[in-house]
Amino acid sequence: MPKRSRYRLFSLGTVLLLLSAPQAIAQPKELPLGSPLPMQDLAVQLVDGSQTTIGALVGNAGTVMLFWSNNCQWTDGYTDRVTALQRQYTPQGIRFVLINANDPNEFPQEAASVGAEKQHPMPYVMDVGAKFAESVGAFRTPHVFVFDGDKTLVYTGGIDDSPADPNNVQHTYLKDVVDALAQGTAVEPLATKAFGCRIKF
């Protein structure tokens, strides 16, 4: 076979192999700091079955939106820490909201009824179709997005720097941000890396 023919066959085979290979899932791009809260009119369902909107969930002094899961060791490890922050800062005008964007049809453990059984002391909503998650670029659980009193994004990322052990926390990212919001002081926009389970779109 002429060299040119062999080259053409090799090139065609290579192209077919590349086309048939599984493609890597692109990581969503986070909403840029300083952006306004998106999709405020989006209807979402609370775990008690009632309906609300994203815009109706905000707090007067700020809003902490945490993408959550009913079946993730990372969120399980942070439950007590998040609950403690919620109890401390809710009276100061900071609203904490858990958002589950996992597909409940493919992953039944993520259904709203499972979340309700955990009786979280804060709003827990189902982001059906992950529309809100896509609008802010959420891809982990937990993944934090903090908006100030003007509904402007001031923080994205993790809760702190020690997911496995609360006794080893050196940097309390989320607490520092909400503390500043609660006190009415300026918040320097900050982004850290979110660690956790991937959202199951």
At 26, is the pLDDT very low, low, confident or very high (cuts 50, 70, 90)?
low
- Domain assignment of residue 43, given as a range: 29-198
Under DSSP, is residue 184 helix (H, G, I), strand (E, B) or coil?
coil
Q: For residue 121, what pLDDT is reported?
A: 85
pLDDT averaged over every residue in the chain: 86
Tell me if 49 is assigned to some domain: yes
Residue 35: C-alpha distances to residues 61, 156, 161, 189 (Å) = 17, 11, 25, 11
Mean pLDDT confidence for 82-99 = 96
SS3 content of the chain, % helix, strand, coil (to 5): 35, 20, 45
Domains contained in the chain, number:
1
Phi, psi of 100, rounded to the nearest 5 degrees: -105, 110
Tell me if 13 is assigned to some domain: no
Phi, psi of 92, rounded to the nearest 5 degrees: -100, 15
Tell me if 3 is assigned to some domain: no
Q: Smallest Cα–Cα separation from 123: which of 191, 189, 55? A: 55
Write down the pTM of the prediction: 0.84
Mean pLDDT confidence for 20-49 = 79
Q: For residue 119, what pLDDT is reported?
A: 61
Tell me if 166 is assigned to some domain: yes
The yes-or-no verdict on residue 50 having pLDDT over 80 is yes
Tell me if 165 is assigned to some domain: yes
Q: What is the percent of the chain where pLDDT is above 70?
A: 82
CATH number for the domain that contains residue 160: 3.40.30.10
| Burial grade of 33 (CB within 10 A; 0-12, 13-18, 19 or more) | middle
The yes-or-no verdict on residue 14 having pLDDT over 70 is no
Which range (17-26, 105-114, 119-128, 174-183) has the least confidence?
A: 17-26
The yes-or-no verdict on residue 4 having pLDDT over 60 is no
Q: For residue 11, what pLDDT is reported?
A: 41
Under DSSP, is residue 105 helix (H, G, I), strand (E, B) or coil?
coil
Q: For residue 118, what pLDDT is reported?
A: 58
Query: Could you identify the residue written with the tokens 């700091």?
Result: 33
Q: For residue 114, what pLDDT is reported?
A: 64
pLDDT tens, 123-182? 999 999 999 999 999 999 999 999 999 999 999 999 999 999 999 999 999 999 999 999
pLDDT tens, 58-77? 999 999 999 999 999 999 99
Tell me if 136 is assigned to some domain: yes
Tell me if 123 is assigned to some domain: yes
Tell me if 45 is assigned to some domain: yes
Beta strands in the chain (DSSP E): 43-46, 51-53, 62-67, 94-100, 124-126, 140-141, 143-148, 153-157, 190-191, 197-198
